[in-house]
């Protein structure tokens, strides 16, 4: 029993912060800390840095450049095709106001005029809400086949 007590006393060392004989939990920069003093020291000496993340841009720089070209080309396209190309009975307003992208607007398809269709707003809404009908009438195509 006396032997166990001597071994425990030998393991106790003076804490650099509270200056009491305690088992040492951590040695840091030449100082010895007990468990309680180390947890208080580590929290107060090293604050967690806060970095506000930059928000994701709604449009990439490449897309912004494409939008400038698209605005110019769209205006010319609608001037050239001023009448709605769909002429859906009971829906059509006859003057074209929208450019429908038959294969979608991703990547290079955005500026590819081979797949553009001049439509009035009513026909465009109908074709967007009824994709099966749009494919049957030839106003929408697969994005995989260019």
Tens of pLDDT along the chain (146 residues) come to 555 555 555 578 888 888 888 888 788 788 888 888 877 766 655 556 778 888 999 999 999 999 999 999 999 999 999 999 999 999 998 899 999 999 999 988 999 999 999 999 999 999 999 999 999 999 999 877 65
> What number of other Cβ atoms are within 10 A of residue 51's Cβ?
5
Domain boundaries, the chain: 2-45, 61-137
d(CA 134, CA 143): 14
Whether the full predicted model's pTM is greater than 0.85, yes or no, is no
Q: How many CA atoms lie within 13 A of 56 on its CB side?
A: 1
Buried b (16+ CB within 10 A) or exposed e, 105-117: eeeebbeeeebbb
């Amino acid at each position: 029993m006396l032997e166990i007590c001597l071994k425990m006393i030998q393991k106790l060392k003076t804490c650099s912060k509270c200056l009491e004989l305690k088992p040492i939990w951590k040695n840091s920069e030449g100082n010895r800390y007990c468990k309680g003093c180390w947890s208080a020291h580590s929290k107060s000496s090293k604050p967690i840095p806060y970095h506000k993340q930059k928000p994701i841009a709604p449009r990439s720089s490449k897309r912004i450049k494409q939008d400038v070209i698209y605005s110019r080309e769209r205006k010319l396209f609608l001037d050239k095709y001023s009448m709605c190309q769909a002429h859906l009975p009971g829906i059509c307003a006859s003057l074209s106001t929208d450019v429908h992208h038959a294969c979608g607007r991703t990547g290079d398809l955005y500026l590819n005029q081979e797949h553009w269709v001049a439509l009035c707003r009513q026909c465009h809404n109908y074709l967007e809400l009824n994709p099966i009908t749009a494919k049957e009438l030839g106003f929408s195509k697969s994005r995989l086949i260019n």
